[in-house]
């Protein structure tokens, strides 16, 4: 993978090169990355809402545990939903 070309502090140009067809899966993962991010963000927001407003105490505790695990997994990969 090539290094990003820094034009200024606010923009970057990145070129990803995939060799088809052997890297089709990686290509699709790169193309769909924003969708995966949105799905995770929606899941986090749903869990947050259920913990805060919708769930009984037992479910709320389970949802909290799932949300904490989600954030731990993201952090372990150097990712964040913020």
Each residue of 13-31: pLDDT tens digit?
A: 889 899 989 999 999 999 9
Q: What is the per-residue pLDDT for 4? A: 58
75 with 44: CB under 8 angstroms? no
Q: Which residues of 27-63 are buried (b: 16+ CB within 10 A; e: fewer)?
A: eeeeeeeeeeeeeeeeebeebeebbeeebeeeebeeb
* Domain assignment present for 61: yes
Within a domain: 81: no
Strand partners, 11: 8
Q: pLDDT value at position 3? A: 60
pTM beyond cutoff 0.95: no
- The residue segments making up the domain with residue 54 are 5-76
Count H helices, E strands: the chain? 2, 2
pLDDT score of 24? 93
Give the model's pLDDT for residue 38.
Answer: 97
Domain count, the chain: 1
Decide if 38 is inside a domain: yes
In a domain, 82, yes or no: no
Q: What is the DSSP letter of 49?
A: H
Give yes or no for residue 11 having a pLDDT over 90: no
């Amino acid at each position: 993978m090539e290094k990003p070309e820094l034009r200024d502090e606010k923009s970057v140009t990145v070129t990803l090169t995939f060799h088809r067809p052997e890297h089709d899966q990686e290509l699709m993962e790169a193309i769909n990355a924003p969708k995966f991010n949105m799905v995770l963000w929606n899941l986090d927001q749903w869990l947050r809402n259920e913990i805060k407003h919708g769930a009984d105490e037992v479910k709320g505790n389970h949802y909290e545990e799932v949300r904490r695990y989600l954030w731990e997994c993201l952090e372990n990969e150097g990712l964040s939903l913020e």
